[in-house]
């Protein structure tokens, strides 16, 4: 059932699988596939479904049972007065009885138990999809933090270059010593920012490891380092109408279908109550006064059973209509959410692409020219700092826009339960 309704690796396409652009330590790198496999196996929330499904299986076994055979012993006419004093006039009866279910009650009961188990199974699929989306989000957050660390190192390197250039200018009496002090302050602040970025990266790794139940950045008993992801390999937003058509394949909507089947099964069970069950009994009676024995038989039928079933039928009908209304409301909400996600993703991709292809090269070239001119005394310290600040701001904006595009892609894929076009294998 799971393979037909749910594609747990659809979100693997959220990030292209290429080598990480840099390393922060000697630990093993991590791929999104490895993170997903670990989460599916070790996520604490998903592990609860194994027990819930076992409960469903037990209920199904119980529903298949027929009413038990009942044994009874009855003793009459003893310990009374007159001729019934003592046990001389007693009559004892040993009987066996069994309820004969009519109206297909057993099949209807089994149908309810099976439909209830199917609901649990679909809920498990929806939870798996939620977990995978969370893995993708946190994986992207680690990739984003890695790029921020790299950007912080770049800022430190640029600050160090300004310090060196300022030292040469001060020694040549071309700049005041205050300029060198400001450059050193900026360098120290850059190093502080770099250490802060490393702490944020460590926190992001721990958050990722928490999706498979670890409090340390560990997977399969070993520490992991960078995640292997090219954050700047931007996704395609895809066609909105095509995405809308895929919404009904989401486990949330499959859950509504499963609940509708459950309501139908409950309705059939309630309708079966209109036909009363029979209780048949047969036994042996002994008369103590004569020592004789005789067979006895009984048949009982509950009265007005059909009237008692009307309330259950009304309840199951209302529950079925409620499920349909909830499904329609959920579909409207899902389409509106998908539209907003698709709009935001399109904007993020456009912003990241523009920053990557147009603004980033120009800001890098402007910084290079400013550095060249500053070295030759044609630009001031403030002009160089402004050029560096603009270059770093563009890089930071690119990182954030690219991360937002990938995160929104993961959300779109979760809502449609399918990978977008151009997905990585």
pLDDT at 243: 86
Per-residue CA distances from 393 to 152, 364, 374, 398 (Å): 11, 11, 20, 9
* Structure confidence by residue, pLDDT tens digits, 19-71: 334 444 456 789 999 999 999 888 888 888 888 888 888 888 888 888 888 88
At residue 345 the predicted structure's pLDDT band, cuts being 50, 70 and 90, is very high
In a domain, 311, yes or no: no
Percentage with pLDDT > 90 across the chain: 27
* Structure confidence by residue, pLDDT tens digits, 287-326: 777 778 888 888 887 777 667 667 777 877 787 777 778 7
pLDDT at 361: 95
| CA-closest candidate to residue 174, choices 388, 371, 366, 374 | 374
Q: What share of the chain is helix, strand, coil (3-state, %, to 5)?
A: 65, 10, 20
222-227 and 28-30 beta bridge pairing:
parallel
71/268 Cα distance (integer angstroms): 31
In a domain, 340, yes or no: yes
* Structure confidence by residue, pLDDT tens digits, 150-177: 999 999 999 998 898 888 888 877 778 8
133/425 Cα distance (integer angstroms): 17
**Does residue 254 have a pLDDT over 90?**
no
| Total domains in the fold of the chain | 1
How many Cα neighbours within 13 Å face the side chain of 88?
A: 6
In a domain, 237, yes or no: yes
SS3 assignment, position 26: coil
**Does residue 338 have a pLDDT over 70?**
yes
Residue 351: give the domain boundaries: 2-67+102-274+329-416
**Does residue 143 have a pLDDT over 90?**
yes
In a domain, 35, yes or no: yes
pLDDT at 136: 92
In a domain, 285, yes or no: no
CA angle centred on 121, ends 409 and 423, rounded to 5°: 25
What average pLDDT score do residues 384-389 get?
91
For position 62, which CATH number holds? 1.20.1600.10
Percentage with pLDDT > 70 across the chain: 85
**Does residue 272 have a pLDDT over 50?**
yes
Tokens of 49: 């479904």
Kindly report the three-state secondary structure assignment for every residue of 238-267.
Answer: CCHHHHHHCHHHCHHHHHHHHHHHHHHHHH
28-30 and 70-76 beta bridge pairing:
unpaired
**Does residue 5 have a pLDDT over 50?**
no
Contact 2, 125 (CB under 8 A): yes
> Which residues have C-beta within 8 Å of that of residue 131, sequence separation ≥ 6?
39, 40, 43, 45, 46, 211
| CA-closest candidate to residue 154, choices 201, 187, 182 | 187
* Structure confidence by residue, pLDDT tens digits, 348-369: 999 999 999 999 999 999 999 9
In a domain, 306, yes or no: no
At residue 389 the predicted structure's pLDDT band, cuts being 50, 70 and 90, is very high
Q: Measured in Å, how far apart are the chain's first and last C-alpha atoms?
A: 23
Tokens of 200: 């944020």
Contact 363, 390 (CB under 8 A): yes
In a domain, 95, yes or no: no
Beta strands in 135-247 (DSSP E): 218-219, 222-227
**Does residue 123 have a pLDDT over 90?**
no
- Residue-averaged pLDDT of the chain: 81
> Which residues have C-beta within 8 Å of that of residue 47, sequence separation ≥ 6?
none
What average pLDDT score do residues 8-20 get?
39
In a domain, 87, yes or no: no
pLDDT at 258: 66
Beta strands in 162-227 (DSSP E): 218-219, 222-227
**Does residue 138 have a pLDDT over 90?**
yes
Place of tokens 């809920």: 123
390/130 Cα distance (integer angstroms): 38
Q: Tell the burial category of 374 from Cβ atoms under 10 Å away from its Cβ (0-12, 13-18, 19+).
A: buried
């Amino acid at each position: 059932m799971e393979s037909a309704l749910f594609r747990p690796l659809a979100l693997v396409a959220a990030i292209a699988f290429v080598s990480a652009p840099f390393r922060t330590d000697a630990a093993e790198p991590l791929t999104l596939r490895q993170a997903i496999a670990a989460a599916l196996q070790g996520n604490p929330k998903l592990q609860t479904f194994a027990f819930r499904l076992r409960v469903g299986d037990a209920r199904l076994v119980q529903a298949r049972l027929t009413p038990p055979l009942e044994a009874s012993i009855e003793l009459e006419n003893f310990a009374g007065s007159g001729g019934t004093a003592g046990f001389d006039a007693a009559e004892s009866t040993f009987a066996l009885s069994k309820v004969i279910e009519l109206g297909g009650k057993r099949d209807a009961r089994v149908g309810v138990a099976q439909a209830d188990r199917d609901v649990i199974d679909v809920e498990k699929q929806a939870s798996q999809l939620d977990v995978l989306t969370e893995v993708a989000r946190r994986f992207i957050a680690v990739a984003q933090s890695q790029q921020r660390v790299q950007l912080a190192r770049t800022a430190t390197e640029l600050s160090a270059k300004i310090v060196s250039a300022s030292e040469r200018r001060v020694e040549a009496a071309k700049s005041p010593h205050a300029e060198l002090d400001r450059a050193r302050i900026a360098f120290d602040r850059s190093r502080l920012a770099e250490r802060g970025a490393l702490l944020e990266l460590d926190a992001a790794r721990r958050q990722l490891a928490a999706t498979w139940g670890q409090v340390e950045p560990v997977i399969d008993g070993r520490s992991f380092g960078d995640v292997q992801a090219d954050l700047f390999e931007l996704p395609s937003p895809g066609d909105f109408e095509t995405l809308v058509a895929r919404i009904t394949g989401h486990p949330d909507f499959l859950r509504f279908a499963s609940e509708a089947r459950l309501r139908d099964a409950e309705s059939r069970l309630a309708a079966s109550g209109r036909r009363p069950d029979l209780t048949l009994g047969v036994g042996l009676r002994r008369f103590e006064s004569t020592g004789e024995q005789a067979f006895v038989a009984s048949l009982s039928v509950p009265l007005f059973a059909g009237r008692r079933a009307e309330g259950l039928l009304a309840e199951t009908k209302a529950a079925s209509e409620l499920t349909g209304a909830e499904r329609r409301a959920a579909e409207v909400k899902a389409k509106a959410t998908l539209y907003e996600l698709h709009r935001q993703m399109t904007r993020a991709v456009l912003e990241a692409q523009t920053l990557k292809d147009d603004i980033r090269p120009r800001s890098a070239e402007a910084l290079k020219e400013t550095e060249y001119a500053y070295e030759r005394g044609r630009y001031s310290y403030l002009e160089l700092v402004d050029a560096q600040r603009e270059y770093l701001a563009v890089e930071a904006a690119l990182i954030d826009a690219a991360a937002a595009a990938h995160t929104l892609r993961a959300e779109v894929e979760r809502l449609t339960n399918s990978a977008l076009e151009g997905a990585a294998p």
